Structure 1
């Protein structure tokens, strides 16, 4: 019997709804597999926790999570209670940085049963590999003076190590897919970091002669995500560019509520973390209409990560079959409650 130990952080808002619902589905998958079991340890860290304790997680929080095989996160943030920069940097980014989750992976594809806002999506299926540890989201910088003399400096930090690491991950992923890697750049406007990014991309590409490559400026690439997403396979991008592209990817799928993400530790020292792209959606909390698909697809990515690709594939098929039957939440144009979606996904799994 294989046991996967999950550190479960429902977090804020609808995270507290979609995470417990998704654990039910994981338990069904484990039961159907027969040789797998999930062991959960719950952590109440959230904005409510911050109001009570003054921190998003306790001082030894990272130490508490170390023994888990993965972190299963719901949502972080409630600007009505805690400023976003406090909640984000105190929990989500803290885990990413201290667990060296240097790669962020976010797929976007046409989903059966979900109407894309694109007139002709042409069955697009792409993955954005986002450098997750530095770049434009570096903490380097500061503020001096005040009033009219105030100066703010925000440094974008790019190291060869992290840049090569993200690019090699993208190329290895492309070898398992359709064999194409697109680099997101802006070397015609950002005169130091992006020419460096381009140089490293060409150097790494030379190690993969069988992979088709191209570079696209981020403004044009953002437009192409809307006008011709079917042309893309794997896209490698810096921290900021990857963040922007993946939100566009969620939008062209039909709802940010279905988009998943994986924060990958590639050196094996620490657990990886799996989370949906959507936020905490405080406006719909308690209404029973939160979309669980993003959390479920995240669970599918987690299963793939642990080598249970068949289970991950089955879960994704069950999700699409549920959506094809018209059982979907209001954000997708449906009338179903979250519990109804979960129930049907479980039925689909049991009938496979």
Structure 2
């Protein structure tokens, strides 16, 4: 019987994960659930944002459904103790180097996208973000420079093996969509990006059926607003992928709508699934968070980790139908509570 580890985390994480669990239970798929603390919630009870018991559960499970971590009350802690260290630790310990972040406009939400409706309707892309390298995992520190001036520094680095494996995830993903891959970098300025571009070009020789293009990250940010329909799959590094996927989510209407999957290969079984929004401590406990991103993350979980594509499509169709019928939380122009949005999706299911 498949085991799903539920790691709700902080802020609105417990609220949205609860709704995703309701949807999964309604499908009666024969899965089991175990819950463990992570992030700030774990630090409060264990003095560690990623307790050994939580990590052990994640490794033992068939898939992980993750909420969100982070709270300003922990900002004074050492960086290794902060809630955000938990998600970085999970990615590292589980070998989750590939992050898939789809972005498409759900019909009926044209009015909440900041783009013109005729442009917003064309959004149907997937960002493949490298997840365990770049400045997030490079050497970093604080020091005193000349004249006693304080400095902070972070090292951006990739080796060719790291670039090749994420490039292959990008090509394989594009091969299963519209066979268009755009590699985003900053090769005109960064040596790290020049290596990235060189390796992506080398890997492209194994994928003659995929149309490869390159784009600088500043231009990619502009093109996502000007003409998002030109993109099919984007492959990029950790930092650029973090920024561009958040931008793509708002082009599609709301960051609360979009799911993600973190995998150890394009055909991975074990994966970690989470909405791309954060913990939103300013609205935590108010019951107004949008659970759609987490519910759609559960659909990705069924698809990628449990080989239940049919159930995944049912969830996606139920979310689309609920929205088409007028169900909206505050971030997408409505008044429904988190649980009421879950009710609407369950009714559509």
Q: Does 1:288 align with 2:287?
A: yes
Specify the SS of the correspondent of 1:273. Answer: strand
The separation in 2 between residues aligned to 1:153 and 1:81, in whole angstroms, is 22
Query: Displacement, 1:326?
Result: 1.1
Trace 1:52-91 onto structure 2 (pairs within 5 A): 52-83=45-76, 85=79, 86-91=81-86
- Aligned residue number for residue 325 of structure 2: 325
The answer for the alignment partner of 2:87 in structure 1 is: 92
Q: CA deviation at 1:141?
A: 3.3
Task: List per-residue Cα deviations over 1:71-113 (Å, max 9, x = no partner).
Answer: 1111101113445844344311110111100101100011112
Give the aligned partner of residue 348 of structure 2. Answer: 348
Give the CA deviation at 1:270.
Answer: 8.4
**Matched residue, 1:118:** 115
Matched with 1:39 is: 32
Tell me the CA shift for residue 60 of structure 1. Answer: 4.7
CA contact (8 A) 2:6 2:65 kept: yes
Matched residue of 1:156: which SS?
coil
TM-score, length-scaled by structure 1: 0.92
The alpha-carbon deviation at position 169 of structure 1 amounts to 0.6
TM superposition score normalised by structure 2: 0.92
- Mapping 1:259-338, distance limit 5 Å: 259-266=258-265, 271-305=270-304, 306-338=306-338
Supply the distance in 2 between the matched residues of 1:38 and 1:70 (Cα, whole angstroms): 11
CA distance in 1, matches of 2:323, 2:63: 28
1:76·1:87 contact (CA, 8 Å) conserved in 2? no
Q: Distance in 2 between matches of 1:83 and 1:293?
A: 32
Deviations 1:259-297 (A, max 9, x none): 111111229998311011111112222222110001011
Instruction: Give the Å deviation of 1:211.
Output: 0.8
- Displacement of 1:63 in angstroms is 2.5
Question: Cα RMSD over matched residues?
Answer: 1.9
Superposition deviation, residue 61 in structure 1: 3.5
Q: What SS does the aligned partner of 1:37 have?
A: coil
Aligned to 1:255: 254
Can you list the C-alpha shifts for 1:199-229, whole angstroms capped at 9, x where unaligned? 1111111111111111000000000001100
Aligned pairs for 1:210-229 within 5 A? 210-229=209-228
Q: Quickly say closer, same or farther: Cα 1:269–1:211, change in 2 above 3 A.
A: closer
Deviations 1:117-150 (A, max 9, x none): 2102233200000111112222313333366254
Which residue number corresponds to residue 138 of structure 2?
139
Cα distance in structure 2, aligned partners of 1:132 and 1:313: 26
Q: Within 1, Cα distance between the matches of 2:103 and 2:265?
A: 22
**Are the aligned partners of 1:13 and 1:285 in contact in 2 as well (CA < 8 Å)?**
yes
Displacement of 1:4:
1.9
SS in 1 for 2:189: coil
1 CA distance for matches of 2:9 and 2:185? 34
Aligned CA distance change for structure 1 residues 270 and 53 (closer, same or farther; 3 Å): farther
In structure 2, distance between residues paired with 1:195 and 1:261: 27
**Per-residue CA distance 1:151-170 (angstroms, 9 max, x = gap):** 44321120111101111011
* Partner secondary structure for residue 50 of structure 1: helix
1:51-78 CA distance string (max 9 Å, x none): 3432113245423321101111111011
| Structure 2 unpaired stretches of 5+ | none
1:283 alignment partner, SS class: coil
Gap regions ≥5 residues in structure 1: none
